[in-house]
Amino acid sequence: MAVRIDGKAISAQAKAQVAEEVAALKEQGIRPGLAVVIVGDDPASRIYVNNKKKACEATGIYSEEYALPANTTQEDLLALINSLNKKPEVSGILVQSPLPEGLDEGAVVEAIDPQKDVDAFHAYNVGKIMQGSYTFLPCTPAGVIELIKSTGVEISGKQCVVIGRSDIVGKPMAMLLLHENGTVTICHSRTKNLPEICRTADILVSAVGRAHFVTEDMVKPGAVVIDVGMNRDENGKLCGDVEFEEVEPKAGYITPVPGGVGPMTIAMLMKNTVAAAKLQAAK
């Protein structure tokens, strides 16, 4: 039976460390601040934004929220980002996705000052991650690395399989595993012999966004299984990509959904906001 990786407990430890760092920075006159922009009234986005505000409160990070109507124009959104780029109280800027139809998400990301891009989505920061000389890491992949390390399993030399090739999780996840000296295979919708490839994985990360996608026959006995998926099953219940009840007896370690990767994403956002504050104070 797999050991469940407790994302809530590990994220609480990470946030406690951030809180200590924030307190020390404030003594030096540096106050980390996060601006969160939400456009429209997507219920899931609202939950995420509220959770980020709570994490800021818990860690002592100053926060601002900008809730814009769904009919906000691209011009108005870019003007807001430009003003936040210049605002000294704001160390980090996060624009909650998805944006309403008609807004160019790519242009919005590129408008954020790379030194305030705490999601690490800007092309500049993506390039730095490729080179391994980064200041910020994308929050979800960074959280996954922390969860894997919490197990005591060494990533170096291990076969790592990532299912999913999104710019937000799949691609940067593969790069971070590579930086830890893992041997990485990226799988996607066109991959042939997917179950066979997954069975080679000592570390299997699923970020495909399909409920019950990873079944027991795709998992190597004793593997570390990280479930990034956040889906609803046929009964409307929150679930991941992994068929948990099937896979848990076979894996060595496994993350539950909820309570696995999700809390770590927010903890890493807090960490990035502190890193941004330090970077700007050093200018």
Query: Same domain for 88 and 54?
Result: yes
Q: Range of 223's domain?
A: 139-262
Tell me which residue of 191, 242, 182, 257 sits closest to 212, measured CA to CA.
242
Amino acid at 33: G
Answer yes or no: is 147 within a domain.
Answer: yes
Secondary structure class of 112 (helix, strand, coil): coil
For residues 150 and 110, membership in a common domain is answered with no
Q: Is 70 in the same domain as 178? A: no
Instruction: Flag whether 111 is in a domain.
Output: yes
Query: Are residue 153 and residue 227 in the same domain, yes or no?
Result: yes
Q: Give, rounded to a whole angstrom, the gap between the first and last alpha carbons of the chain.
A: 51
CATH at 216: 3.40.50.720
Q: CA dist 244 to 73, 149, 213, 263, Å?
A: 42, 21, 10, 18
Strand 33-39 relative to strand 62-68, pairing:
parallel
Residue 239 covered by a domain: yes
Residue 63's CB is within 10 A of a number of other CB atoms, namely 21
To the nearest 10°, report the CA torsion of 201, 205, 210, 215.
30
207 lies in a domain?
yes
Q: Is residue 1 part of a domain?
A: no
Do 245 and 161 share a structural domain? yes
Tell me how far apart the alpha carbons of residues 85 and 117 are, in angstroms, rounded to a whole number: 10
The domain tally of the chain equals 2
Instruction: Judge if 65 and 144 occupy the same domain.
Output: no
Q: Is residue 248 part of a domain?
A: yes
Closest CA to 188 of 213, 165, 206: 165
Print pLDDT tens along the chain (283 aa). 999 999 999 999 999 999 999 999 999 999 999 999 999 988 889 999 999 999 999 999 999 999 999 999 999 999 999 999 999 999 999 999 999 999 999 999 999 999 999 999 999 999 999 999 999 999 999 999 999 999 999 999 999 999 999 999 999 999 999 999 999 999 999 999 999 999 999 999 999 999 999 999 999 999 999 999 999 888 888 999 999 999 999 999 999 999 999 999 999 999 999 999 999 998 7
Cα separation, 112 vs 130, whole angstroms: 19
Catalytic residues: 52, 96, 119
Q: Is residue 269 assigned to a domain?
A: no
